[in-house]
Each structure stands twice: as structure tokens, then as C-alpha cells.
């Protein structure tokens, strides 16, 4: 199975059934993926990752900002499961950001902000951790960039893969959920920097879109 598939018709859970920050009352449509479901799915991904690349020291490349919660919880779960399997596994985390500059054409130019020197990746098992993959552009740009540092192996973990037209041809190696083409927030996914402090993955309401529009 490539991941938990959420169908287009999924209307999410009613907000009244869940706890979320008071200041977002009225700004959300529904709870799309509750925090507990996210966490359990992450434990499964951690187990698969450990089986595949847990025999070597691991270099985790966290794609900011959206990936910081997924990365933190995933690394914790990998460490917890490697401890209980009494494995000695060091997991180092590096952070990179993408600045997609819109030049005068409509094309975007993906520019990686982060440590210029990623030579510490040489010979290592690298795990790229992204919260959401839609077009797959950043994933491909990052894979290309990482390959130049001659890692031993590179794998990609994506919490969410969005079904978008002309979407990513290839899926990440580890997929949390495959979701419809809707704008989701929460669990570090933002809308103009809002909703990162929301634990569940939710769909933003029209009110919320207007309220936090820039
Ligand atoms: O649904 C989304 N929510 C937040 N951020 C992004 C999304 N898709 N690409 C980037």
C-alpha cells in the first residue's frame, strides 16, 4: 500500500468532536486527519524506515517550515523504535528551506536556503522529510541537489501526497496519506504563517481564508 488513501468525497470529522485552539474558532471547515491518526501513521513509517535504512547512521534533511512537526515526531519514533530494538543508530538532522522566487515569467525558481556545505551527507543514508508533496518540484530539486554530495542512499518521506493534476510522477519512498486536492492546514502546515500551532490537519474555512488573507 502506498499510504493511507483519503478519497475525494471525504468530508472530514465535525470540529465539535475535537479539541483545538480557541483562537481558530470559525476559521476551520473540518478536521481532516486527527492528530492521533497522524501519530500512529508516523510510527508505521518509522518502522518501515528503520527496516530499510536503519542499519546505517542516518542523515535526516528536514524541509522547513512545514516539515518541522512531521520531522520531529518521525525522528522521535525512529529513535524510540531503534532503542527498543536495541540498535545503536545515530540520527542527525539538518534543516533546509525553499525560497521559490517568482521571476517575471510565471515559472518558479526554486532556491534552496540552508547549509551550503552538505558534504556531511557523503556516504550517508539520507532521508529527506517533507510535510506535503504536490507537484513534486521541491522533492525533485532536492533529490538532485543531495545527489551531488554523493550520499550512500537517498530516500524521501512525505507525510501528505496531494492528488493534483500534473502531480508528482514518482511517489516518495514513505507516504503517510494520499489526499484530495484541497488546501489543508495544521500540524505545521500554514496559511500565511497561521495554523502551524494546530495539532490536527484541517481544512480552512472561507472565513479563515478571508481573515488571514495577506
Ligand atoms: O494544502 C497545503 N497547505 C499548506 N501548504 C501547502 C499546501 N499545498 N502545498 C503547500
Q: Which atom of ligand 1 is nearest to the CA of 185?
A: 3
Binned at pLDDT 50, 70 and 90, residue 20 comes out as: very high
- Tell me if 49 CB under 6 Å of ligand 1: no
| Span from the CA of 86 to the centroid of ligand 1 (angstroms) | 37
Distance CA 138, CA 111 (A): 9
ipTM score assigned to the predicted complex: 0.97
Q: Is 70 exceeded by the pLDDT of residue 34?
A: yes
pLDDT score at 70? 98
Q: How far is the CA of 189 from the centre of ligand 1 (A)?
A: 7
Ligand 1 pocket test target in 176, 189, 191 with most atoms within 8 Å of CB: 189
Q: Average the pLDDT over each of 83-92, 118-127, 176-185 and give the range with the smallest value.
A: 83-92
Nearest to 118 by CA among 136, 137, 144, 100: 144
Count of beta carbons in the 10 Å neighbourhood of residue 171: 17
Residue 1, helix vs strand vs coil? coil
Cβ of 134 closer than 6 Å to ligand 1, yes or no, is: yes
* Separation of CA 132 and ligand 1 centre (Å): 7
pLDDT surpasses 50 at 47: yes
Cis peptide before 119 (omega within 30 of 0): no
pLDDT for the residue 161: 96
Q: Is the pLDDT of residue 105 over 80?
A: no
Say how many Å lie between the CA of residue 33 and the centre of ligand 1: 14
Distance from C-alpha of 51 to C-alpha of 174, rounded to nearest angstrom? 12
pLDDT above 80: residue 80: yes
Determine if ligand 1 sits within 6 Å of the CB of residue 100: no
**Predicted confidence (pLDDT) per residue in 136-158, tens digit:** 888 898 999 999 999 999 999 99
The CB density around residue 101, as the number of other CB atoms within 10 Å, is 9
In this predicted structure, the answer to whether residue 107 has a pLDDT above a threshold of 60 is no
* % of the chain exceeding 90 in pLDDT: 68
> Best substitution site from 162, 195, 209 to test ligand 1's pocket, by max atoms within 8 Å of Cβ?
162
Catalytic residues: 134
Q: 2 falls in which pLDDT band (50, 70, 90)?
A: confident
178 vs 109, more confident: 178
pLDDT band at 109 (very low <50, low <70, confident <90, very high): low
Question: CA–CA separation, 191 vs 213, rounded Å?
Answer: 8
Amino acid at each position: 500500500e502506498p499510504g493511507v488513501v483519503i478519497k475525494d468525497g471525504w468530508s472530514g470529522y465535525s470540529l465539535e468532536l475535537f479539541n483545538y485552539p480557541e483562537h481558530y474558532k470559525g476559521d476551520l471547515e473540518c478536521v481532516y486527519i486527527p492528530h492521533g491518526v497522524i501519530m500512529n501513521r508516523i510510527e508505521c513509517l518509522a518502522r518501515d524506515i528503520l527496516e530499510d535504512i536503519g542499519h546505517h547512521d542516518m542523515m535526516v534533511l528536514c524541509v522547513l517550515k512545514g516539515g518541522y512537526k512531521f520531522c520531529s515526531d518521525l525522528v522521535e519514533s525512529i529513535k524510540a523504535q531503534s532503542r527498543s530494538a536495541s540498535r545503536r543508530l545515530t540520527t542527525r538532522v539538518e534543516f533546509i528551506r525553499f525560497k521559490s522566487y517568482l521571476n517575471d515569467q510565471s515559472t518558479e525558481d526554486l532556491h534552496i536556503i540552508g547549509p551550503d556545505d552538505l558534504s556531511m551527507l557523503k556516504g550517508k543514508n539520507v532521508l529527506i522529510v517533507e510535510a506535503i508533496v504536490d507537484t513534486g518540484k521541491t522533492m525533485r530539486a532536492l533529490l538532485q541537489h543531495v545527489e551531488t554530495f554523493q550520499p550512500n542512499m537517498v530516500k524521501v518521506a512525505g507525510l501528505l501526497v496531494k492528488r493534483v493534476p500534473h502531480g508528482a510522477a514518482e511517489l516518495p519512498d514513505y507516504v503517510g496519506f494520499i489526499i484530495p486536492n484541497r488546501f489543508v492546514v495544521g500540524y505545521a502546515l500554514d496559511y500565511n504563517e497561521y495554523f502551524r500551532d494546530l495539532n490536527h490537519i484541517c481544512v480552512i474555512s472561507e472565513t479563515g481564508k478571508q481573515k488571514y488573507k495577506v
